[in-house]
């Protein structure tokens, strides 16, 4: 009897421990896993933090048009925060598919004139070791720099004498002299991270061909080469999920469609994905591509166009077809606050943003780290809910939200034909009369979700954009009546995935 009791006495603690483990797993796997995406919003947008950008008082929700107004969900300025615990995985940026960050090379381009302004935020976000291994990261510039463990490659150091003689290459030759005088510049009350000599854009175009040549030669086992600018952000888990649909041995050249001088090409600021197959078909077949296209580079203004033209010459075309849906959304040439949100992209994954500020990069990184990519990709809708919706108001003065689909101006109002869903033609044609009339016209059009009114015109749109404030130094402050923007965000509730 005593022996049986002692045996049971050992089993009981083990049973308690087992029950505790089951409860722990249930709570953190089942309960937390059932959360629908990311319930969060970003810190207030930069533009809203300055009082010069418009009146955002909460009493702006009043019905100015004398009709029922679709009021926004958020009526007051808030400072929501992010979750303190990021979503974690066993290895860097591994989406629920076969392609991982170990299979790609992230190519990051900057320049000496902007490095100290744009790059530091990426060291804490884009370059994070839990996001991508340092062996899969290549940092390119036009001047050699070492910041901690990060080495920036001077990708122009092997440029030919012919290139060095070109007028647009002169900035590169000034870099070393500028660097040696930096101490004196600071003593002269100039900022230490000043922009330096002008001409960075002209110099930038020379980097593209040497960068892709270098990346392919030094990382021959990569399946994809993903290129980004220093004022961009790429959501790696989303993009890896997308690239996994393509055979990297085939010649794929993906990004945001651009066109120049009859060439289709991937817009550099939006990000570029080049498969190993595409590299082998072009750079891999001709070791003298950079030298061969020196003259073409000198005669054209944009490096991403030069790259696209060269790839085309070797039979690597942009996308699958220029009309394929897979290449119509995802890579963005603008930032989230100037981009359009509409039913066509609402449920599509977002891969990149361009023209970003340091604060934008920090927000994107935080969203990426807190998102459960095993459940779903990060979509335009999710970016809208996190970084746009919290800051929409019924009205904001001295704000341009970019509404442009329809414009009613006093000189053409009498003949303005409204969309078929407009309830009152008279209300539509009177939209230019006042701010109240513009708002009323938007309300009478069932698809209208935002409007903007200034002087004798009203603009309306069925797409949403946050836009930006009109600063006190803007000439529009002195030459026009207040530029007023407004939104009807509740009309987006029927947009679903």
User: What are the tens digits of pLDDT across the range 82-123?
Assistant: 333 333 333 455 555 589 999 999 999 998 888 888 999 999
pLDDT digit string (tens) for 320-369?
665 566 667 899 999 999 999 999 999 999 999 999 999 999 999 999 99
Residue 194 falls inside a structural domain: yes
Q: Which residue has better confidence, 166 or 87? A: 166
Residue 154 falls inside a structural domain: yes
Mean pLDDT of 417-422: 92
Q: What percent of the chain has pLDDT over 70?
A: 73
Residue 169 falls inside a structural domain: yes
pTM beyond 0.85 = no
- pLDDT for the residue 1: 43
- Tell me if 457 sits within 8 A of 414, measured CB to CB: no
How far is residue 216's CA from residue 214's CA, in Å, rounded to a whole number? 6
Q: H helices within 152-233, ranges in order? A: 161-164, 170-180, 182-187, 200-204, 208-218
Q: Which residue has better confidence, 414 or 311? A: 311
Phi and psi at residue 177, to the nearest 5°:
-65, -40
How far is residue 372's CA from residue 36's CA, in Å, rounded to a whole number? 9
Residue 36 reports pLDDT greater than 90: no
Residue 37 reports pLDDT greater than 50: no
Residue 386 reports pLDDT greater than 90: yes
Residue with tokens 């073409």: 296
- pLDDT for the residue 179: 64
Residue 65 reports pLDDT greater than 80: no
Average pLDDT, the chain: 80
- pLDDT for the residue 95: 52
Q: pLDDT class for 182, splitting at 50, 70, 90?
A: low
Residue with tokens 């109002």: 413
- pLDDT for the residue 299: 87
Residue 239 falls inside a structural domain: yes
Residue 71 falls inside a structural domain: no
Please state the domain count of the chain. Answer: 1
Residue 67 falls inside a structural domain: no
Residue 385 falls inside a structural domain: no
- pLDDT for the residue 321: 62
Closest CA to 370 of 35, 102, 100, 123: 35
Residue 429 falls inside a structural domain: no
- pLDDT for the residue 129: 94
> Hey, how many other C-beta atoms are within 10 angstroms of the C-beta on 398?
20
Domain that holds residue 195: 101-327
Closest CA to 328 of 255, 387, 393, 415: 255
Residue 41 reports pLDDT greater than 80: no
SS3 content of the chain, % helix, strand, coil (to 5): 40, 15, 45
pLDDT digit string (tens) for 111-159?
888 888 899 999 999 999 999 999 999 999 988 999 999 999 999 888 8
Q: Which residue has better confidence, 173 or 497? A: 497
Q: pLDDT class for 387, splitting at 50, 70, 90?
A: very high
Mean pLDDT of 250-264: 90
CATH of the domain at 229: 3.90.550
- pLDDT for the residue 116: 87
């Amino acid at each position: 009897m005593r022996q049986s009791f002692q045996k049971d006495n050992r089993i009981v603690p083990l049973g308690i421990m087992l029950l505790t483990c089951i409860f722990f797993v249930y709570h953190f796997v089942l309960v937390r896993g059932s959360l629908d995406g990311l319930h969060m919003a970003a810190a207030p947008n930069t533009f809203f933090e300055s009082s010069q950008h418009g009146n955002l008082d909460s009493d702006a929700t009043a019905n100015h048009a004398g009709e029922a107004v679709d009021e926004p969900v958020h009526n007051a300025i808030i400072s929501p925060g992010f979750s303190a615990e990021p979503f974690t995985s066993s290895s860097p940026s591994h989406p629920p598919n076969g392609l991982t960050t170990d299979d790609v090379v992230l190519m990051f381009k900057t320049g000496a004139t902007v490095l100290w302004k744009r790059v530091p935020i990426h060291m804490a976000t884009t370059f994070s070791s839990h996001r991508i291994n340092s062996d899969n990261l290549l940092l390119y510039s036009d001047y050699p720099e070492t910041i901690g463990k990060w080495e920036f490659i001077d990708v122009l150091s092997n440029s030919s004498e012919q290139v060095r003689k070109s007028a647009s290459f002169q900035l590169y030759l000034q870099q070393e002299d500028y660097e040696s005088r930096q101490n004196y510049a600071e003593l002269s009350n100039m900022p230490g991270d000043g922009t330096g000599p002008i001409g960075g854009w002209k110099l930038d175009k020379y980097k593209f061909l040497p960068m892709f040549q270098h990346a392919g030669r030094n990382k021959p086992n990569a399946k994809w080469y993903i290129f980004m600018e220093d004022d961009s952000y790429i959501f790696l888990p989303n993009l890896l999920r997308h690239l996994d649909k393509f055979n990297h041995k085939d010649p794929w050249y993906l990004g945001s469609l651009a066109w120049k001088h009859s060439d289709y090409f991937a817009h550099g600021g939006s990000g570029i994905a080049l498969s190993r197959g595409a590299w082998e078909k072009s750079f891999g077949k001709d070791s003298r591509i950079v030298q061969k296209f020196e003259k073409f580079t000198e005669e054209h203004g944009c490096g991403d166009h030069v790259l696209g033209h060269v790839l085309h010459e070797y039979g690597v075309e942009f996308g699958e077809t220029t009309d394929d849906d897979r290449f119509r959304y995802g890579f963005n040439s603008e930032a989230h606050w100037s981009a359009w949100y509409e039913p066509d992209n609402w449920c599509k994954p977002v891969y990149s943003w361009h023209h970003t500020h340091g604060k934008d990069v920090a927000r994107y990184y935080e969203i990426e780290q807190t998102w459960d990519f095993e459940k779903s990709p990060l979509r335009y809708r999710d970016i809208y809910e996190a970084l746009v919706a919290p800051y929409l108001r019924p009205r904001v003065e001295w704000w341009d939200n970019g509404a442009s689909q329809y414009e009613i101006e006093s000189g053409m109002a009498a003949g303005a034909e409204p969309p078929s869903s407009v309830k009152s033609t008279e209300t539509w044609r009177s939209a230019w009369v006042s701010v109240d009339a513009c708002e009323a016209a938007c309300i009478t059009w069932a698809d209208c979700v935002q409007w903007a009114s200034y002087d004798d015109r009203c603009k309306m749109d069925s797409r949403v954009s946050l836009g930006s404030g009109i600063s006190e130094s803007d000439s529009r402050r002195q030459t026009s009546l207040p530029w007023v923007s407004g939104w009807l965000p509740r009309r987006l509730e029927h947009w679903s995935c």
